Amino acid sequence: MDEPGTVEETAFAKINLALHVRHRRPDGYHALETLFAFAADGDRLTAAPADGLELTVTGPFAAALAGDDPADNLVLRAAVALRDAFGVTAGAALRLDKRLPVASGIGGGSADAAAALRALAALWTLPADDPRLGEIAGRLGADVPACLASRPVRGTARGDVLAPVDEAGLAGMPLLLANPRAPLSTAAVFAGWDGHDRGALAEGDPLAAALAGRNDLEPPARALVPAIDAVLARLGEAAGVRLARMSGSGATCFALFGTTAECAAAARSIADRQPGWWLLETRLR
């Protein structure tokens, strides 16, 4: 049982419904146009009162982080940055239940860092709408600002300049995530992008824009992990699928469905045929 005062947050899995890479910027980043959406599920993070700052990682994918320097973990970096920005003297005992695959294109450390900012703002009674939270998120990584909001938004620049979208057509859509248990380096995938600008992401209704869009990182990711081809094929052939695509830099792929029953049937079928894959049957927030 958690002690009194403990705050719990979900690090919602990030989905790039579409991801257009336009060009490489002078600062080394890539100019992106993307539609972010978020699953209703993800890693779980708890923050409890403590004298210092400490982080414990548990869960099915904790072993993937076992060799990392704890000081480099985005959760602890977010905690230190938040404490310093607001002059907080209290500490926190943080526990991350790592339920999502690592290096898989669905937010990972960015979503965990955003959950830490939300949880610690509540634990330390900081104003959740203070602009300093967004500033910290932007310094931690290009995806962290979107993960901090964890609502459908359109991202430009590095993906960190955000604009609201009409989420009515997205909320609650059945969602299936699939990963062949193959981690992928974001840097390696971007390095494999061919540099060709294939055009802008459409404006307007986000689902329509996503259906008309693409993920420009799919080809280099598929070259690095050919199993992505099979994942996309399985998702794309499922009955009732509205959109099947790779998220972010991969290797996690997603499918949106018209009904929960269709999503569940696809999950059962894929689990039977590919028992080694990681699957998450969920919905869009």
For residue 188, whether the previous peptide bond is cis, meaning omega lies within 30 degrees of 0, is no
Six-digit token pair at 111?
């979503």
Please say if 14 is a catalytic residue.
yes
**Could you say which of 43, 97, 143, 216 is catalytic?**
143
- Active-site position among 14, 41, 43, 112: 14
Cα(8)–Cα(35) distance, rounded to whole angstroms?
27
In the DSSP assignment, the letter for residue 91 is: E
The CA distances from residue 84 to 66, 136, 147, 174, 260, in Å, are: 27, 10, 21, 40, 44
The amino acid occupying position 256 is: L
Active site residue 98: no
In whole angstroms, what is the distance from residue 216 CA to residue 220 CA? 8
Cα–Cα distance between 221 and 159 in angstroms, integer?
19
Active site residues: 14, 143
